Every structure is written in structure tokens, then in C-alpha cells.
Structure 1
Amino acid sequence: MLTIGFVVFDDFQVMGMAALSAFEMANLVLGRPAYRVHVLSEQGGPVRNSLGFAIDTAAFGEDFFDTTVTIGSLRVKPSTPGLLAYLRDAAVASRRVAGICTGAYVLAEAGLLDGRRATTHWNHARNLQRLYPAVKVEEDRIFSVDGNVWTSAGMTAGIDLAMALVEDDFGAEVAKAVARKLVVYLRRPGGQSQFSALLDLEPRSDRVRRALVHAKENLRDELSVEELAAAANLSPRQFSRLFRQETGQTPAKAVEHLRLEAARVMMEEGRHPMDVIARETGFADRERMRRAFLRAYGQPPQMIRRAVEAGRASALE
């Protein structure tokens, strides 16, 4: 059985606890107690979270765990010497250590991220880099792995990190089954942006939102203005005017952003040739996709794929 030590401290961010569900569901999928979770704190006993209620914890002891995970807090503050000492020992004794959201600050404060790649919530990433210049902060990743140290972005990204840990232990099929039980997208790749194209567009009306969802679900199609207008139950002229008013973009530009996001996800998965990615995301051919990547990111898709592969190889070293 694999043991998970889940480290909390006063005012820890309650959403981080959601990551525990991935290990619970893995036990159900596997039909046996594959994981045992222990919630820990420096002193033990009740520890209050960001919503003000407390959970019971066990005190740090001499025992360590296969994986030690630290949750962050909404307001970053200095850690106690006892917490930092425990994490330094855990980094040696545990197979993996991880930080969810601003838990990366705690790992950095303990010196565990020096010279390593790491990520955190986008709103805290630049401050993390300023405070700990020895850390190679990747500020727009869902999660990051460098050796035996794992870090994730904020909020729901902790679930992505936990499912990645499950996949690391028991393979992709188990992780898929866990994702289905959690009713979440199968583990977003670590390098996927913390920002969603749909969230960036932020349409106000249900009609425009409905058209965007239709586009995202049918990227292989041509997705003309007429088709999107029909999904919104508007005339093409009404739709184009309303779309620009609400998003600041033309429908064509918004569709391109959705296609770029989907193409990057497929590149992160690492299983598909460029021709297949271009076809499945509606670019039709590699050259059209290449031009879109140059406009959006200033580099061709091949360079992005090479960076992903290099990061994956580094994580395995």
C-alpha cells in the first residue's frame, strides 16, 4: 500500500483537500486499498482551514510517507521552522514530494525547489520567482515535475496533480477511470496553460456562450459565421455584431484561439503526429497550423513540441 502524507497548517486553502479524492477513487477503481492518506500538521489536533472550520490531524513524527504533499494558503506567510525541517527530511525519505498551489512557496522556503522547475497559481508565480530566484518558475503550467518534486497551479489544478501521481503509480487506464468517477477532464497535461480560451473570451450572453461551446465541440468542422450564428439562434449579421461587442474579437479569431488551445493539448499528450493534430483541431493542414502558432506564440508548433518532450525527459532523469 502507498501512503500519502498530506501536510496542512493554519488557514490552509480548503480547495486543496479536493486532491485527496483522486486517491480515494483510485482505491475504488483498483478494488483494494492501494492508497492510505494521513493528514498531518506540526502539532496535530484540529487545524482551521480558509473557511474557518477545522479538520483533525496527526502530529509530525518519525515516520515518513511514500508521497508527501503540502497544501498552500490564500495568503502566503512564513512557515514555522518545524514545518520546514519536516519537509526537508521528507524530501530525503519520501519517494515524491509535492506542493499544491502556494504550497510551492513552502517547498521553496525549505530549499527544495532550488535549481528545479516549479509552478504555482498564476497570481503568485512572479512573486515566487522574485523571492526565490534559484527556482525556475514556470508560471503558466497546470503542474510541473522535476525529479521527485511535483508542484501544481492553484485550485482545481491540485486534482490534476493528484491524478498525475495516480497515473505515475498505476498507469493511464487507472487514471482515466479515476477521472470518470470524479467527472473531470482526464488529467490535463502539465504544460497546458492555466488560462482557458473560453474563460479569456468571457461572453456575457448565453447565445454567444452557446456558440463558443458549439465551436469547441466541433473544431474539425469549418465553423463558418453562419454555423455559429445558427448555434446562437441569430442571423449572421446580428451574431457577428454581438460577438465582437461581448468578446472584443471576431468569431474567426476566437475559433482560431480555441483550435490553438486544443492543438497544444494534443501536443502535450505526445501521441499524435502533427498532421493528425492539424486535422483534428480544424487547421486542415500543418502549414495553416504553423502560421497560426507563429501569430499567437511567435514560434512554430515543432518548437513547442520539442520543449514538451525535453521537459518530459528531464522529469524522468
Structure 2
Amino acid sequence: MTGDRQDATDQAWPAHRRLVVMLSYRGANLLDVTGPVQAFETANRQALASGEWAAAPYETIVASEAGGPVLTGAGVAIATVPLAALDGRPIDTLIAPGGSPDGQIVAEPALSHWIARQAGQARRVCSVCTGTFLLAEAGLLEGLRVTTHWRWAQRLQAMYPGVRVDAEPIFIQEGAIWTSAGVTAGIDLALALAEADLGHRIALAAARDMVMFIKRPGGQSQFSVPLLAQQGSGLAQFAELHAWMAAHLHEDLRVERLAEQAGMTPRTFARAYAAAVGRTPAKTVECMRFEAACRALEASPAPLKRIAADTGHGTEQNLRRLFLRRLRVTPQQYRARFAPNHPMHA
């Protein structure tokens, strides 16, 4: 991409508005529906404010099987149009939200069948949270790498063994199929879709208008280590350890050192930690160091060599390899995109 959006010769922007269809059903997660809808509407406003578009680029419709008010899992009803009202209309982006009322996965046959029929005509088909189950039931995910809310990843893999489930990223694109993690990741997904259509500057302006802390890239982990450290119950015993780890990221944090800090033998510590946190100590260290590097790149003009050392990555090359593996961008590219004072945002 050159400049803020692709050249007109590369991106033939249609004269008509692109139709975004957000599905809904009884028990759908409220924010899975409203978060992306708001993100597209905010992108509309920013596109118009930029002066580069004569009309808002998106038309967003919330649709359900029968139409009318649909009660979400939060107890708030959403006005919808019936699926039949979309007959004959070209759909640009189709999004299936998640929802698990009473702890049950929702993969309503009528919606899955409708998605399967529409998928070949829509430019892209997306899911938020457990909406991935709807796409899988529609037969769209076979052989693809996808994500969903981490709590449901194992269930998704068990139910659809031909799908490659990755519970780590907040969203994944596989060709025309986009899947995302739980709840707020739907907003990240919508902003990524808007960025692909309208360019980085418009998407970043939309994120800023929505008072988002950062417009997260898809490879970012669903698991925020600071959030883990704040949780109670099974993780309470490691809250102090997490705080200590965050202050000592530049030091040797092998399992033996962490076990000593926790007052356990290495074997007992590794077993107890994995049972409570759901990941190995080494994985948590990697995530903490990665998040610290992201924050440093966003907030500090320090050289990459210094950031790598301060965040426990050792060398600039190690830092580069980690960013390429997790985000498919270099640290320099990450800084250029997300540092608010970077020259590209001037």
C-alpha cells in the first residue's frame, strides 16, 4: 500500500456503498454485534471527514432469520431485518457473532445453511468469538487456520477436527475468511477490515475516535499478562510472582529461577503453574516480554538494541524474529504503525 490508501488503479472503489451484514440470533453476545457495527460507522465518519470519499463507504445491516427485535445474551434487544430482505443484494462482508447462552454453543442450522449459500458470493466472511462455530458448521473452515474465544478453542477443535484451531491470536485471515477471538476482538477485526479497504490512516483515526488504547494487529495474543496477574481464584497464588516477573524481564527467568521465587521445586512449580494459568511459565515469560517490547516501541524512541536488552530478548535479532513470528512485521514496522509520535502519523 502506498500513502494512506491504495492508488485508485490498485483499488477500484465502487460507486455504491459496500454492504456489511452482521448476523444476530437469540443469545448472541451484544458487543460481538454492536462493537463491529460501531467500528464500521466510525470508519464511515472518518472517511467522510478525510475528504477522500464523497459518500460513506459502508452500509451496515443487522439481520436475523425472521427479523424484528432479537434478544441478545445481555438481555438487550436489537432491531434486525429478516434474511429474506437481503435476497438479491450483493454482500461485501458477512459477519457471524458469537454467543453461548447457558454455556451452550449456538450454531443454529438455519443460519449456518444461509451462510453456506451466501459465502460464495460475499467478498469476505468473518466471525467474532464463537461465531466461528457457525462458519465451521457451514463447511467454510475445513483445512484453514482459525481462531475463536480461547475458552472454546478445544471444543471447536474436537467438533471440527479438519479445522486448524489456534487460540492465541486475536484474529486470523485465511484468504476471504476472517475469524476473531472473543468480544472486543470483533472491534479489532472490523478495524482491520476497514484498514484493508480504506487505508491505515482512516482505521487509526477510527480507533482514536473510539478511544481505543491501541489498534491491535491480528497476531497479538488474546491473553494479556497484566490481566492474568489481576485474576483471582486459581491464579491468586501467582499474582505476586507475575508482578515480580514484570519488574525483572531483563534477567534470567528460567523455570528454576521462577520456582525459587515462588518457593517451590522446579517440577512442582511447573505443574502447579500450568494447572492454574493454563500455559507454561516459559510461555508467560515470552508473552510478558513481548508485551513490554510492544509498549516500549509505542512509547519510546529508544534504539531497538536497548529495547531488546531491557525487555529480556537479549539481541535486536531475537526481537526481530519474535515480531516476525507473532505479528509478521518487524519491530521497525510495528513502531511506524503504532507509535503516536512517529513521523508517519504527523
- Code of the residue aligned with 2:96 in structure 1: it is T
Counterpart secondary structure, 2:20 = strand
Alignment of 1:170-209 (within 5 A): 170-202=198-230
Alignment of 1:1-317 (within 5 A): 1-16=17-32, 17-31=34-48, 32-61=55-84, 62=87, 63-74=89-100, 75-77=103-105, 79-202=107-230, 258-263=288-293, 277-280=304-307, 282-283=309-310, 287-288=314-315, 302=321, 305-306=324-325, 308-309=327-328
Where structure 2 has 5 or more consecutive residues not aligned to the other structure, the ranges are 1-16, 49-54, 233-238, 252-260, 264-272, 274-283, 330-346
| Residue in 2 that maps onto 1:297 | none
| Residue in 2 that maps onto 1:236 | none
Task: Give the Cα separation in 1 of the matches to 2:295 and 2:311.
Answer: 17
Q: TM-score, normalised by structure 1?
A: 0.71
Quick one: structure 1 residues 284 and 5, their matched pair in 2 at CA, closer, same or farther if it must change by over 3 Å? closer
- Code of the residue aligned with 2:62 in structure 1: it is V
Task: Give per-residue Cα distances to partners, 1:165-222, cap 9 Å, x unaligned.
Answer: 1111111111110110011133211111111121122289xxx99xx7xx79xx9xx8
- Code of the residue aligned with 1:92 in structure 2: it is G
Quick one: structure 1 residues 105 and 203, their matched pair in 2 at CA, closer, same or farther if it must change by over 3 Å? closer
Quick one: structure 1 residues 154 and 59, their matched pair in 2 at CA, closer, same or farther if it must change by over 3 Å? same
Quick one: structure 1 residues 97 and 303, their matched pair in 2 at CA, closer, same or farther if it must change by over 3 Å? same
8 Å CA contact retained: 2:219, 2:326: no
Quick one: structure 1 residues 44 and 285, their matched pair in 2 at CA, closer, same or farther if it must change by over 3 Å? closer
Task: Give the Cα separation in 2 of the matches to 1:173 and 1:289.
Answer: 28
Distance apart, 1:53 and its partner CA: 2.7
Distance apart, 1:51 and its partner CA: 1.9
8 Å CA contact retained: 1:259, 1:283: no
- Code of the residue aligned with 1:28 in structure 2: it is R
Counterpart secondary structure, 1:93 = coil
8 Å CA contact retained: 1:64, 1:90: no
Percent identity among equivalent residues? 37
Task: Give the Cα separation in 1 of the matches to 2:83 and 2:296.
Answer: 42
- Code of the residue aligned with 2:111 in structure 1: it is L
Task: Give the Cα separation in 1 of the matches to 2:147 and 2:113.
Answer: 22
Task: Give the Cα separation in 2 of the matches to 1:281 and 1:264.
Answer: 11
Task: Give the Cα separation in 1 of the matches to 2:326 and 2:29.
Answer: 32
Distance apart, 1:110 and its partner CA: 0.7
Distance apart, 1:5 and its partner CA: 0.2
Task: Give the Cα separation in 2 of the matches to 1:29 and 1:304.
Answer: 30
